């Protein structure tokens, strides 16, 4: 094992990532050291690096929370996973295990939760230390780059759809067809639902169709009416909002049928974090607004297992770690059809 690792480091909010080397950290009690094979670049990384969510708890910080790698060293007390196993590291990097939220199986809202690539160093590096109890084991030989987005985009949309509890065959609007949206379309299909893809970008809609969308809508159309026309008397049973635009949430609420659920996933920047809601529409039509924050370890295990059984993989474009800053820039500009994934060869 080399003594130093390459990493892309956030040193200040809004500053370009700094490429360089650091000593490989030693795993402490309960932690493992992982050699990173691939790390997806999530839109949240742009928000973190640009300072849209304020100053991260840790700075300097290595971003990245869609990590697939191989266990190379164990900290004290760790028996699982074993050295050599392939594991995934997701956003949910730790929770206290004893608060009310944790006891109720909702560690995503634990007040002491840790975020990989946010309050812990993440995967824009060729090594990462993670809490052994918070990684998910993966089959050996898995396509690390194409699987890495399951660790955030996948589990996030899976949990959202699970919480919406749509009956089989129900129509689900997926509003925004970037990295999260293409996962939402695939998970919806795997869960027996009928996804309708919504995006302004025809290339993204074409990809969504290949991934299983039953219909598409360009979101400059009168969106709620367009969606309702497709669903007919069945109605739109849920809207998954994965476009970080306030208007998309309002359109989703208007589009869902009585009893329908609107899944709040995308995170607009702090300045655009407000929407307008009709109280009577919500009350009279018993619409459900559901906030969801990535996923618990149980959600992650389920999302991984469903991806493995249903053959869900991300459509990706791989880049070397040295291009981490370029990847963030491309997400800022928009128009990225698949998921950008950093791969750590050599």
Task: Write out the residues near Zn ion by the rule CB under 5 A.
Answer: 42, 44, 95-96, 99, 102, 110, 152
Nearer to Zn ion, 153 or 164 (CB): 153
In the complex, minimum distance from the CB of residue 230 to Zn ion, in angstroms, rounded to a whole number:
29
Nearer to Zn ion, 58 or 288 (CB): 58
In the complex, minimum distance from the CB of residue 75 to Zn ion, in angstroms, rounded to a whole number:
21
Rounded Cα distance between 312 and 297, Å, is 19
Nearer to Zn ion, 134 or 171 (CB): 134
CA distances from 320 to 14, 47, 144, 149 (A): 22, 21, 14, 16
Q: Which two tokens mark 240?
A: 């998954």
Q: State how beta strands 236-241 and 171-175 pair.
A: parallel
In the complex, minimum distance from the CB of residue 197 to Zn ion, in angstroms, rounded to a whole number:
20
Nearer to Zn ion, 72 or 99 (CB): 99
Close Cβ partners of 284 (under 8 Å, ≥ 6 residues apart): none
Among 176, 81, 64, 165, which Cα is nearest to 115's?
64
Among 209, 204, 206, which Cα is nearest to 180's?
204
Nearer to Zn ion, 135 or 223 (CB): 135
In the complex, minimum distance from the CB of residue 17 to Zn ion, in angstroms, rounded to a whole number:
17
Nearer to Zn ion, 248 or 254 (CB): 248
CA-based radius of gyration for the chain:
20
Among 165, 221, 168, 164, which Cα is nearest to 197's?
221
In the complex, minimum distance from the CB of residue 152 to Zn ion, in angstroms, rounded to a whole number:
3
Q: Which two tokens mark 43?
A: 């839109």
Contact assessment for residue 308 and residue 139, using Cβ atoms and an 8 Å cutoff: yes
Reduced to 3 states (helix: H, G, I; strand: E, B; else coil), residue 71 is strand
In the complex, minimum distance from the CB of residue 281 to Zn ion, in angstroms, rounded to a whole number:
31
In the complex, minimum distance from the CB of residue 312 to Zn ion, in angstroms, rounded to a whole number:
16
Nearer to Zn ion, 96 or 290 (CB): 96
Count of CB atoms situated within 10 Å of the CB of 290: 16
Nearer to Zn ion, 89 or 166 (CB): 89
In the complex, minimum distance from the CB of residue 100 to Zn ion, in angstroms, rounded to a whole number:
8
Contact assessment for residue 341 and residue 319, using Cβ atoms and an 8 Å cutoff: yes
Nearer to Zn ion, 31 or 66 (CB): 66
In the complex, minimum distance from the CB of residue 4 to Zn ion, in angstroms, rounded to a whole number:
27
Close Cβ partners of 277 (under 8 Å, ≥ 6 residues apart): 250, 253, 289
Number of H helices, E strands in the chain: 11, 17
């Amino acid at each position: 094992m080399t003594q130093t690792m390459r990493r892309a480091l956030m040193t200040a909010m809004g500053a370009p990532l700094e490429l360089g080397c650091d000593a490989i950290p030693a795993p402490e009690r309960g932690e493992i050291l992982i050699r990173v094979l691939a790390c997806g670049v999530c839109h949240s990384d742009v928000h973190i690096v640009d300072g849209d969510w304020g100053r991260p708890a840790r700075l300097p910080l290595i971003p990245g929370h869609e990590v697939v790698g191989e266990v190379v060293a164990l900290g004290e007390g760790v028996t699982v996973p074993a050295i050599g196993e392939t594991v995934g590291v997701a956003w949910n990097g730790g929770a206290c295990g004893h608060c009310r939220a944790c006891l109720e199986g909702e560690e995503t809202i634990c007040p002491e939760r840790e975020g990989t690539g946010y309050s812990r160093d993440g995967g824009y590096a060729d090594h990462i230390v993670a809490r052994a109890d918070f990684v998910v084991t993966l089959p050996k030989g898995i396509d690390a780059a194409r699987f890495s987005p399951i660790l955030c985009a996948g589990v996030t949309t899976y949990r959202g759809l699970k919480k919406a509890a749509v009956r089989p065959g129900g129509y689900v609007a997926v509003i925004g067809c970037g990295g999260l949206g293409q996962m939402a379309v695939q998970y919806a299909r795997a869960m027996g639902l009928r996804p309708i893809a919504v995006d302004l970008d025809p290339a993204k809609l074409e990809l969504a169709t290949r991934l299983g969308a039953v219909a598409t809508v360009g979101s400059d159309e009168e969106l709620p009416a367009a969606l309702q026309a497709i669903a007919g008397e069945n109605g739109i049973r849920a809207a998954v909002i994965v476009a970080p635009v306030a208007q998309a949430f309002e359109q989703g609420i208007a589009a869902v049928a009585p009893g329908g659920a609107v899944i709040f996933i995308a995170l607009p920047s702090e300045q655009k974090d407000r929407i307008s809601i009709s109280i009577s529409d919500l009350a009279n039509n018993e619409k459900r607004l559901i906030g969801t924050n990535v996923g618990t370890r149980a959600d992650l295990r389920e999302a991984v297992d469903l991806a493995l059984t249903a053959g869900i993989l991300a459509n990706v474009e791989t880049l070397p770690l040295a291009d981490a800053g370029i990847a963030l820039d491309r997400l800022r500009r928009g128009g990225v059809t698949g998921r950008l994934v950093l791969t750590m060869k050599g």
